[in-house]
Structure 1
Amino acid sequence: MVIIILLICIITLILLVTWAKVNVFLTFLIISVMAALLLGMPLPNIVQSVNKGLGDMLGSLVIVIVLGAMLGKLVGVSGAAQKIATSMRQAFGEKYITWAMCATGFIVGIPLFYNVGFFLLVPIIFSVAGKYKLPLVYVGIPMLASLSVMHGFLPPHPSPMALLVQFHADISKVFIYGFIVAIPTCAIAGPIFARTLRRMYTNSAIANSVQDIPDEKLPGLANSILSSLLPVIIIGLSTLVVRFSGDNKTLKDVAAFLGDPNIALMETIAIATYSLGMRMGMKLSEVMNVYADAIKEIATIMLIIGSAGILKQVLLDSGSSAQIADSLQGLNLPPLLLGWIIAAILRLCLGSATVAGLTAAGIIYPLMQQVPADPNLMVLSIGAGSLFCSHVNDTAFWVNKEYFGMTMKQTFMSWSLMETLVSVIGLLGVLILNTLI
């Protein structure tokens, strides 16, 4: 009966989001309360579950996601992302231009959220394609593949961070495993796949309307790269110090404190405010306005993440988790594969990668209480599944179609197929890692 109720709730969620066009945050609230009532939870307990689910999910995520959004926005607005792209283009040359675009997306995609990254980097794609007289899609897909992989696999992006919290995973291990899986995924779904698009010419009216920041106003390359990757560097160094500091408790405590994701991002923001902001001629008030815009852009994402936590909490507090776990266990599928399948199906139905991943996490979580599975790899498996086959119910599908001037067929053969490759290759990478560790 619990599985039937869960299916009813998921179908209702899909219909409300795709057919009725109800706000996703409101939809999760409605579905969570609906599930609680159908599962027979006492009314006072429902309110407690709503508050606890929302609070527990956002409590450890707000600082990381907000500071990550601020850093990503500053990296883009300051021209650091453009500087990295320009330098990569010069280093690789025309022959390997797709690898240059892939490498650019890989580096700047760590701090940049996908939506922000797309709009900040698309002028670079147009500029490079125009300079070398190459198809926009051929030049753009490698960069978009890297941005998509970073968005779905690596902290501090919203979905991986939320999954990390749900599964009580270790951020350092998720980042290391995600980095290992990301490299071949980006290479295959990016430059290698782009070879099939070499003759896909399109007609983009938007391409002629965008402009780059003048070179003399860009920050230096070292400044751009270090500022973008500083959180990763700090957390990585901290992990190494903690591991190899022996019995020195003071050193371990200091390193653990400085390498905490929240503190690492605070340190990075303090440095980047000067290095990418005030040092480049921006007033402090202008940098603060950049940060304010970044917060506005991720407000909806934060609400969606919080509301997804409510549904998971309802399933736990109602006592339904064990029955769900037993039913999923009866499918006789490895948990990592099952998590990917559920996320992929939800992605096909809902369009939103974030919503698909968070919903899948709430469903698969009970199973992990009974069947052993590496929580760090589960974050990556569901992240990969949530990127599966973007199509007409995903806003990114239409954004890519219009910006690159593609037909529907061209969009399916480039963007949708690239996202599918990212998802499937990501799963294979996770399964291979699972056999090795």
Structure 2
Amino acid sequence: MPIVSIIIGVVLLLILMMGLKLNAFISLIIASLVVGIFEGMSPAEAMTSVQNGLGSSLGSLTMVIIFGAVLGKLMTDSGGAQRIATSMLNAFGQKRVQLAAVVTASVVGIALFFETGVVVLVPLVFTIAVAAGVPILYIGIPVTTALITMHGFVPPHPGPTAIAEVFEASIGQTVIWGVIIAIPAIIIAGPLFTKLFKKEDLEVEIPKGLFNPKKFEEHEMPGFVASLLTAILPVLLIAIKSIVELAAPNSAIRPFTDFVGTASTALLISVIVAMFTFGISRGKSMKEIMNSFAEAVAGIALILLIIAGGGAFKQVLIDSGIDQYIASLMEGSSLSPILLVWVIGAVLRVALGSATVAGMTAAGIAAPLVATTGVSPELMTLAAGAGSVGFSHVNDAGFWIYKEYFNLSIGKTFKTWTVLTSIVSIIGLIGVLILDMFL
């Protein structure tokens, strides 16, 4: 029975990753093969399906993920991220340091992966908090909330981009709706959440020896306008494509915007621009720029493999006919597919820790519901992303990154990080359900 095969596959995934501590990529491949064989595929057929899934997933996403990582790396290595942060702080003033930090993290979070964003911004969090005379977590909680929310909701980050590919969603529309949903999630789980704590509860001791960040001098950093425009250029190009697509579908400029607004093209253009604004114009040689490129690619290799593994799992579900079975179960059902994919993503997130694995697996299971229910694939993408980003605990690397960088106890990490990610997830779901009423 197909539903039994899915349950066996998910349970096996849990056992391999949680019990045997096996790498997520290997676990996904094994689980995919087992599900295929249980559904009557021969071992050779199951392996062919896995290989097809690996290729189809990476084929469209490899450039997006690699160029996204390179853009963030060039921005970090040049001091562009520091320039955006310091300029925002100067513009907002000391009395609005929390707002300045949130805006900065949201902007920087478009281009930087969560882990990179933490490394870049946390030293600035300490500097800001000390200079303004406010508790560390008063700034730290909103900053990390903005980073994890953008990482989970807004392409071209790997998770939402890969999930959008599974649902065949428009990247441009996903960016627009993702930003709209991210704003209230960041505000509620960030600045408003900090108001629930006493001032002394937000105080932490800055870890000694944990950081050795390069602090750029004024003359070493690129200008603010160049840094900001380069950071948000891919989002602007993707959004322009979506706006033209919706407002003027027969316009003469449509072929051009369709080309430059495709995620891979937009990021390629942005990387080329960044090579100049963050590299050549700052006196860097092409060899130095390419060193940053190589380091960025090395850093996201495992993410690419996990996404490929999720694609393999999805392909087995399709080739074995499980997707059609799931679709038939939902015919005439009153259960919201948006709520269903969110629940699947959230449960897998709690069980596995990896947001990427949780989101990709949930999307693979729920993908056929788009055709049978007519639900927006963009909203399904965001619902899966919202479910996969919440309820972080000890099996998530992000939990430990947050704990160590802010020098917290396990208990305090649960009270802050786990709760804020849960708020982001729930507000994200509510936002998607509200949008579903109008789209």
TM-score by length of 2: 0.95
Report what 1:262 is aligned to: 264
Alpha-carbon distance in structure 2 between the residues aligned to 1:4 and 1:245: 47
> Which moves more between the two structures, 51-60 or 254-263?
254-263
Alpha-carbon distance in structure 2 between the residues aligned to 1:417 and 1:100: 23
Alpha-carbon distance in structure 2 between the residues aligned to 1:322 and 1:77: 48
Aligned with 2:380 (options 378, 381, 403): 378
| Sequence identity (%) | 41
- State the one-letter code of the partner of 1:435: M
Alpha-carbon distance in structure 1 between the residues aligned to 2:79 and 2:173: 31
- State the one-letter code of the partner of 1:91: A
Contact 1:126–1:207, Cα closer than 8 Å, also in 2? no
Contact 2:29–2:312, Cα closer than 8 Å, also in 1? yes
Contact 1:340–1:381, Cα closer than 8 Å, also in 2? yes
**1:338-377 alignment runs, 5 A limit:** 338-377=340-379
Report what 2:76 is aligned to: 76
Alpha-carbon distance in structure 1 between the residues aligned to 2:394 and 2:85: 30
Aligned with 1:233 (options 233, 236, 253): 236
**1:112-151 alignment runs, 5 A limit:** 112-151=112-151
The alignment's C-alpha RMSD in Å is 1.8
- State the one-letter code of the partner of 2:235: V
**1:208-227 alignment runs, 5 A limit:** 209-211=211-213, 212-227=215-230
Deviations along 1:196-225, one digit per CA (max 9) or x if unpaired, are 343322223247744432233221110110
Cα 1:240/1:322, change in 2 over 3 Å? closer
Alpha-carbon distance in structure 2 between the residues aligned to 1:40 and 1:259: 42
- The answer as to 2:19 corresponding to 1:19 is yes
Cα 1:40/1:247, change in 2 over 3 Å? closer
Deviations along 1:265-322, one digit per CA (max 9) or x if unpaired, are 1111111101111111221111111111110111100011011111111111111222
Contact 1:377–1:430, Cα closer than 8 Å, also in 2? yes
Contact 1:207–1:404, Cα closer than 8 Å, also in 2? no
Alpha-carbon distance in structure 1 between the residues aligned to 2:386 and 2:251: 39
Contact 2:33–2:43, Cα closer than 8 Å, also in 1? no
- State the one-letter code of the partner of 2:401: V
> Which moves more between the two structures, 109-118 or 227-236?
227-236
Cα 1:238/1:40, change in 2 over 3 Å? closer
- State the one-letter code of the partner of 2:225: A
Alpha-carbon distance in structure 2 between the residues aligned to 1:71 and 1:62: 14
- The answer as to 2:152 corresponding to 1:152 is yes
Aligned with 1:271 (options 260, 270, 273): 273
Contact 2:171–2:238, Cα closer than 8 Å, also in 1? no
Alpha-carbon distance in structure 2 between the residues aligned to 1:400 and 1:348: 17
Report what 1:34 is aligned to: 34
How far 1:50 moved relative to its partner?
1.3
Alpha-carbon distance in structure 1 between the residues aligned to 2:394 and 2:168: 34
Report what 1:186 is aligned to: 186
Alpha-carbon distance in structure 1 between the residues aligned to 2:345 and 2:229: 34
Contact 1:137–1:414, Cα closer than 8 Å, also in 2? no
How far 1:48 moved relative to its partner?
2.1
How far 1:228 moved relative to its partner?
0.3
TM-score by length of 1: 0.95
- State the one-letter code of the partner of 2:15: L
- State the one-letter code of the partner of 1:199: E
Alpha-carbon distance in structure 2 between the residues aligned to 1:392 and 1:89: 33
Contact 1:123–1:207, Cα closer than 8 Å, also in 2? no
Contact 1:78–1:219, Cα closer than 8 Å, also in 2? yes
Contact 2:175–2:239, Cα closer than 8 Å, also in 1? no
Deviations along 1:156-190, one digit per CA (max 9) or x if unpaired, are 11011111110010111111111111111111111
Contact 1:69–1:298, Cα closer than 8 Å, also in 2? yes
Deviations along 1:215-243, one digit per CA (max 9) or x if unpaired, are 33221110110010111222333444556
Contact 1:204–1:402, Cα closer than 8 Å, also in 2? no
Contact 1:207–1:403, Cα closer than 8 Å, also in 2? no
How far 1:434 moved relative to its partner?
0.7
Alpha-carbon distance in structure 2 between the residues aligned to 1:204 and 1:40: 57
Deviations along 1:57-81, one digit per CA (max 9) or x if unpaired, are 1111111111111001111121111
How far 1:395 moved relative to its partner?
1.3
Aligned with 1:408 (options 400, 407, 410): 410
> Which moves more between the two structures, 110-119 or 208-217?
208-217
- Runs (5+) with no aligned partner, structure 2: none
Cα 1:215/1:351, change in 2 over 3 Å? same
How far 1:330 moved relative to its partner?
8.0
Report what 2:59 is aligned to: 59
**1:197-346 alignment runs, 5 A limit:** 197=197, 198-200=199-201, 201-206=203-208, 209-211=211-213, 212-241=215-244, 249=252, 251-327=253-329, 332-346=334-348
> Which moves more between the two structures, 410-419 or 235-244?
235-244
Alpha-carbon distance in structure 2 between the residues aligned to 1:209 and 1:44: 50
Deviations along 1:328-353, one digit per CA (max 9) or x if unpaired, are 56874200011111101111111111
Cα 1:255/1:372, change in 2 over 3 Å? closer
Alpha-carbon distance in structure 2 between the residues aligned to 1:394 and 1:248: 46
Cα 1:73/1:316, change in 2 over 3 Å? same
Alpha-carbon distance in structure 1 between the residues aligned to 2:9 and 2:177: 33
Alpha-carbon distance in structure 1 between the residues aligned to 2:68 and 2:167: 21
Contact 1:391–1:412, Cα closer than 8 Å, also in 2? yes
- State the one-letter code of the partner of 1:22: L
Count residues in correspondence.
436
Report what 1:92 is aligned to: 92
